Amino acid sequence: MNLTDRDKQIIKDHIDRDEPLPAKYKLTLFAGAPEVELVWQGKSSEVTSVALPFQSIEQIDEPRQQAGEQVGGLFAADARGRQSGGWTNKLIWGDNKLVLSSLKNGPLRREIEAAGGLKLIYIDPPFDVGADFSVNIEVGDETLTKEPSVIEELAYRDTWGRGTDSYLSMMYERLKLMRDLLREDGSLCIHCDWRVVAPLRLLLDEVFGRESLINEVVWVHQIMGGAHGSRLPKAHESLLWVSKSKQFRLNSDDKYIRVPFSEYVQNSMQQDSEGRWYYTRRRMSRKATAEEKETKAHTVTYVDDPTKGTLASDVWTDMPSYQPKPEALTKYPTQKPDELLERIIGGGTLPADLVGDFFCGSGTTLVVAEKLGRRWIGGDLGRFAIHTTRKRLIGVQRELKAKGEPYRSFEILNLGKYERQYFVGINPNLPEQQRREQTIQREEHYLTLILSAYKAERVFQMPPFHGKKGSTVVVVGPIDAPVTLSQVNDIISECRKKKISKVDVLGFEFEMSLTPVVQDEARAKGVGLSLKYIPKDVFDKRAVERGQVQFYDVAYVEVLPKLDGMTATVTLKNFGVFYRQDLTDAVGEQIKPGGSKVTVENGQVVKISKDKSGKVSREVLTRKWTDWIDYWAVDFHYENRKEIIRVVEDGPDGAKQEREVWTGNYIFENEWQSYRTRKNRSLELTSGKHQYKQKGRCKIAVKVIDIFGNDTTKVVEVKV
């Protein structure tokens, strides 16, 4: 740096006086800085490198397999028709920062590379429009607005808490992770809101390079209103499409990236003597002679295939509707039309390529990828988004199966207990002994966190009780294991010894054998027992400080298996939940005369109405227990497949080492399912027939998902 002592003194004086540096010194001091760089408050180049194991909680190979039927998909199958090899599509529930980091740095990266690598990522991240994660749920003839969970709501606030600054920080880290996951000839396409398209363009330049832009696409659609008095009405969306390297090549032959020829061109198609297709059109320049204009000179344009059409430009005007077609509409607020994703996936990939979407919402990217014969991996923070996507993907499987076309298995994953350990400061990648020691060290922090969220006080020297809420004692279950039946029985015994009449047991998971019968037995012994789920919201201190965390009673499921020789069916007999969304008195005060709102109170969906005179009335909409159920599925061979995870640990010499571990859980293999759709609100309560191939004892698992997307599983044992 060519600075004299005088120059250094001038720079020091400016800094001491807190004054801007003269331009010539800026150029000298920062000569090696990027020519153009996007800077915002809180910008950091740090990218998380955590690698948490993924838990596989469900696998869906077949849409409604019937007795004796064999699978017709792309994969090798075992005797039951379950996928036994090859890539399994993946739907992941969780924070996409942790998901992306774990995909990039964990064992699943090898599986992605073995599948050819990630060829295309499409994302539709949330925009700063004051929106949230609310979705509309149909209950009978009414619509209930499902409010976002606290963790979803706070994730949105994190994204936009400081306006564009926090949004760019969120996107910057995730774009870096996505870039590293893409293969060298891969690309990323992002749907941008007009408010952030400019800074996002610069952000992509910084992460992917200034030469990475494939296209800025303008998607023209119907006018969407707007304040016409102050601005022109909105009628387009922006897509930024970038490549990881110069190796990217557009799949320009795919029919979805092409626009059909106009009727005029199609009618004028001809073949020359060599069999080449062409059409003619009049083409005149301003300088055309009078003779040329008189003869109406035409140009000849040759085409490779008259059925393909012409390559789409960067202005898409041939898909005018912003909303999906009625038959595909889920009422999920951010759902895009299939046609949009068909063009992006068709142009950016080849059949069998791997496609990703880590803000998948209602799952349109994954649905279209499945239809077009691409492999996929996707995820979302919202539980309801995952459930909506699961139903749509099963629907696609059913459609493809009916047509005799191939389809691929998919599994549902999460970071489960490993994410919880990470949140409380336990490193899940430590060797087992060190991890146990760290768990013991962090136990008090964990208990204080949960009890604070539950608004209970910590108590000591009262084992097995950890807290007290009024006259009720509280037990907090482990962070990395389900609360078991034997643990609950021990708690009941201690309550009787200490003459305690009420106890609340809190847990992230509960053993499937815990049923209302246990609570009935406790009540008969003089103990009021409540089993309550700990929500993920407890890990956000702001939610705890604001008292926003809600603990819900464990739902219960009653099923009746029936065997006729080697054939089995399962009937759903009862289902119970306990939710609360709003205080109905407060809702009644907020409603304007003549208005109404649907909400949840004490485990019932209730419609609150106010007539013109101001009188408030209540109508319970969930008249039957079945009204709470949106979906249920059966695994007729539960405990047939152990959940094996690959754990990366720090070895004795500091080097990373990988090993397979059985979690103690089993994967729910979805063999039969019934669910509601917008068009068909009916629900089958008895499963299809399942044919067993050998006699013996077998466990059947039934998974029920309620209208909010929460799942409950019941396991029963039968003798075949």
Look up the CATH number of the domain holding residue 94: 3.40.50.150
Lowest mean pLDDT among 75-79, 262-266, 394-398, 495-499: 75-79
pLDDT tens column, 164-201: 777 888 899 999 999 999 999 999 999 988 888 998 99
Task: Report pLDDT for 265.
Answer: 80
Nearest to 665 by CA among 403, 484, 477: 484
Instruction: Give the pLDDT mean for 253-279.
Output: 86
Q: Which residue has the higher pLDDT, 618 or 111?
A: 111
529 in a structural domain? yes
Q: Which of 512, 529, 550 is the last residue of a domain?
A: 550
Sign of the torsion angle spanned by Cα atoms 154, 156, 162, 165: positive
Quickly state the pLDDT bin for 69 (edges 50, 70, 90).
very low
Mean pLDDT of 69-74: 45
Of 590 and 272, which is predicted with more confidence? 272
Percent of the chain scoring above 90 in pLDDT: 44
In a domain? residue 162? yes
Tokens coding 131: 């929106």
**What is the model's pLDDT at position 102?**
95
Q: Considering only CA atoms, which of 187, 117, 126 is closest in space to residue 344?
A: 187
Assess whether 593 and 629 both reside in one domain.
yes
The residues near 542 (Cβ < 8 Å, ≥ 6 apart) are 154
In a domain, 454, yes or no: yes
pLDDT band at residue 89 using 50, 70 and 90 as cut-offs: very high
- Residues whose CB is less than 8 angstroms from the CB of residue 321 and which lie 6 or more positions away in sequence, other chains included: 221, 222, 337
The CATH number linked to 491 is 3.40.1350
Per-residue pLDDT at 163: 60
Domain count, the chain: 4
Q: Is residue 208 part of a domain?
A: yes
Q: How confident is the model at residue 139 (pLDDT cuts 50, 70, 90)?
A: low
Is position 15 within any domain?
no
Same domain, 281 and 233: no
Residue 475 is predicted with a pLDDT of 98
For residue 346, the model assigns a pLDDT of: 97
Instruction: Please say whether the beta carbons of 483 and 514 come within 8 A.
Output: yes
Three-state secondary structure along 324-335?
CCHHHCCCCCCC
Q: How far apart are CA 244 and CA 356, in angstroms?
A: 15
Q: What is the pLDDT of residue 585?
A: 54
**Mean pLDDT (whole number) for 512-525:** 84
Last residue of one domain, picked from the residues 531, 550, 569: 550
Residues 241, 101 share a domain: yes
pLDDT at 151: 43
Q: Is residue 643 part of a domain?
A: yes
Tell whether the model's pLDDT for residue 141 goes beyond 60.
no
Maximum average pLDDT range among 73-77, 677-681, 682-686: 682-686
Identity of the highest mean pLDDT range in 156-165, 317-326, 675-684: 675-684
Last residue of a domain, one of 533, 550, 567: 550
- Rounded mean pLDDT, 681-692: 92
Do 570 and 710 share a domain, yes or no?
Answer: yes
Q: For residue 408, which amino acid is it?
A: R
Do 569 and 487 share a structural domain?
no
Mean pLDDT of 241-260: 94
Q: Say how far residue 297 (Cα) sits from the centre of its chain.
A: 57
* One domain, residues 328 and 379: yes
3-state SS class at 520: helix
* Interval 64-91 mean pLDDT: 60
Confidence of residue 160 (pLDDT cuts 50, 70, 90): very low
**43: in domain:** no
Contact in structure between 181 and 118 (CB atoms under 8 Å): yes
Is the Cβ–Cβ distance between 116 and 182 less than 8 Å?
no
Q: How far apart are CA 56 and CA 399, in angstroms?
A: 25
Clarify whether residues 536 and 685 are in a common domain. Answer: no
Mean pLDDT of 380-393: 90
Residue 24 belongs to some domain of the structure: no
User: Mean pLDDT throughout 573-581?
Assistant: 76
pLDDT > 80? residue 115: yes
- The whole domain housing 209 covers 55-259+309-385+397-420
What's the confidence (pLDDT) of residue 76?
A: 53
Average pLDDT over residues 13-17: 88
Residues 366, 482: one domain?
Answer: no
pLDDT at 719 over 80: yes
Band of pLDDT at residue 81, cut at 50, 70 and 90: low
**% of the chain with per-residue pLDDT over 70:** 84
Q: Is 154 a residue whose pLDDT tops 50?
A: no
Task: Identify which has the larger pLDDT, 78 or 522.
Answer: 522
Judgement on whether residues 707 and 591 belong to the same structural domain of the protein: yes
Same domain? 566 vs 644? yes
With a CB cutoff of 8 Å and minimum separation 6, the contacts of 341 are 122, 364, 365, 368, 369
Q: Do both 338 and 291 map to the same domain?
A: no
Q: What is the pLDDT of residues 49-62, one digit of tens each?
A: 999 999 999 999 86
**pLDDT surpassing 70 at residue 140:** no
Average pLDDT on 616-623 reads 79
pLDDT by residue (tens digit) across 424-462? 888 877 777 888 888 888 999 999 999 999 999 999 989
The letter for the amino acid at 157 is R
Average pLDDT, the chain: 84
CA distance 225 to 234: 6
Confidence tier at 684 by pLDDT (50, 70, 90): very high
Q: Can you tell me the distance from the alpha carbon of 13 to that of 456, in angstroms, rounded to the nearest whole number?
A: 57
Assess whether 297 and 322 both reside in one domain: no
